[in-house]
Amino acid sequence: ALERTFSIIKPDATRRNLTGKINAKFEEAGLRIVAQKRIHMTKAQAGKFYDVHAERPFYDELCEFMSSEPVVVQVLEGEGAIAKNREVMGATNPADAAPGTIRAEFAESVGENSVHGSDAPETAAIEIAYFFSGIELVG
Ligand code: CMP
């Protein structure tokens, strides 16, 4: 089915001018960028976004990193977009990511891993609504 997923190009990637290369990977995989903007989150905004990880030992470091520099938030649309995006990103830890994936090619570490993508339809809907209003989604 035609799906939408939420994606973030993280500070380690925007800092190295990798936005275009990462978007090319999405588009080559058949994912359409239907909304996109560059923002600089406060630590509190990053904290709310990653609330599900609040009890994890890396939570503070994660929120510091995600608010350290600008990110690009985006909505990707396509057939099975959630799974397809996860395939194109590769495993969370770049050491485990398959060759050719975004994280294998660009990620610096498990924390600074270049991209975030929603893991399920429910989280995709919540994450999209956190950053975008309906009028910004141009299918
Ligand atoms: P993301 O998909 O953005 O969702 C949660 C993030 O936590 C994850 O990608 C990783 O970048 C980050 N993360 C996971 N494990 C660790 C870890 N051990 N240390 C630092 N960050 C981590």
pLDDT for 9 beyond 90: yes
Q: Active site residue: 116, 127, 131, 132, which one?
A: 116
Portion of the chain with pLDDT greater than 90, in percent: 96
State how far the Cα of 62 lies from the Cα of 82, in Å rounded to an integer.
22
pLDDT for 139 beyond 90: no
Radius of gyration (Cα) for the chain, nearest Å? 14
pLDDT band at 138 (very low <50, low <70, confident <90, very high): confident
Closest ligand 1 atom number to CA of residue 50: 5
- The two tokens of residue 58 are 């890396």
Whole-prediction pTM: 0.97
Instruction: Please report the pLDDT score of residue 104 as a whole number.
Output: 98
105 phi and psi angles, rounded to 5 deg: -80, -35
How much is the ipTM here? 0.93
Q: pLDDT tens digit string along 72-98?
A: 999 999 999 999 999 999 999 999 999
Ligand 1 center–CA 17 separation, angstroms: 21
State how far the Cα of 77 lies from the Cα of 85, in Å rounded to an integer.
10
Q: What is the mean pLDDT of residues 104-124?
A: 98
**Pocket residues for ligand 1 (CB within 6 Å)?**
53, 58, 61-62, 92, 110-111, 113, 116
Q: pLDDT tens digit string along 44-69?
A: 999 999 999 999 999 999 999 999 99
| 116 is known as an active-site residue | yes
34 phi and psi angles, rounded to 5 deg: -95, -10
Ligand 1 center–CA 92 separation, angstroms: 7
Return the percent helix, strand and coil in the chain, to nearest 5.
45, 20, 35
pLDDT band at 4 (very low <50, low <70, confident <90, very high): very high
